[in-house]
Amino acid sequence: MTPTISRLALAALALSASILTAQPALAAVACGSGNFDAWLADFKADAAAKGVSQQAVAAGLAGVTLDQSVLNRDRSQKVFTQTFEEFSGRMVPPRMQRGSNMMKQYGSVLSRIEQTYGVPGEVLVAIWGLETDFGVNTGKFATIRSLATLAYDCRRSDQFRAELLDALRIVQRGDLAPADMKGAWAGELGQTQFMPSSWMKYAVDFDGNGKRDLLHNAPDVLASTANYLAGYGWQRGKDWQPGSPNFAVLQQWNKSEVYSKTVAYFATQLARAP
């Protein structure tokens, strides 16, 4: 997430209106029933039936209430209209020096990550800087509350029910305590803003301390981001310019072409930095 534009909003540039407005398939528990507490009670039972432990359900969903501010943000997203020149010109220059410093500070870690996953450090640091200013602006919304709110709302209920289940699985696995799960308003978590489903699939414990911690642990953050890109087909040793297979992988990270081009441009500038 950039400080002012959610990754979800940027991705909306490439999504058709029909996808955004399509009614979800009827879920096991009805969305928008008019009573959030009753919906939440049914969801807890459904989560347990899907194998989430009672302990994780209780810890994750205790006291959760509807967050109207999340619904307001979801309904007021504007189409992303900045050009590449405008967006990259605003985002890259203020982050170049810090990005170059991060390349040096984490040089050995980035080298090991590239050996493991094939993704160059410049690409990872560019994403890191654009998403959260290298971990400074990860977001302050309670993740489980945000996901529960969006799962209850009927606009994209099925999508966010699945994310809420995965957030509880993160708790069950011991990666994070519910109180530590704070991020963007739409449920993105960590220093490169993973949705819970991506966290469950791609988060790695790169420093071997027994936890996958994408909120506080830079080696885990960077390696998990590399694992995500590798999972979408990143080609080792190839470039990442628009039109290349690796640029198509960057668009799996964020479907906005402007955003993906800015990642590619930032990474190229970092590669050229002294």
DSSP 8-state symbol, 188? -
Say if CB 129 and CB 95 are below 8 A apart: yes
* Catalytic (active-site) positions: 131
Query: Nearest-CA neighbor of 130 among 258, 22, 273, 252?
Result: 258
CA distances from 75 to 24, 68, 171 (A): 17, 11, 29
Alpha helices in the chain (DSSP H): 7-11, 17-21, 36-49, 54-61, 68-75, 84-91, 96-105, 107-117, 121-132, 143-152, 157-173, 196-202, 218-231, 245-253, 257-272
Q: Which residues contact 197 (CB under 8 A, 6 or more apart)?
A: 162, 163, 166
Token pair for 155 = 């606009």
Q: Which residues contact 204 (CB under 8 A, 6 or more apart)?
A: 212, 220, 223, 224, 227
Q: Give strand pairing partners of 82.
A: none
- Hunting for tokens 């002012």 — which residue is that? 4
Q: How many CB atoms lie within 10 A of CB 219?
A: 20
Token pair for 120 = 């160059």
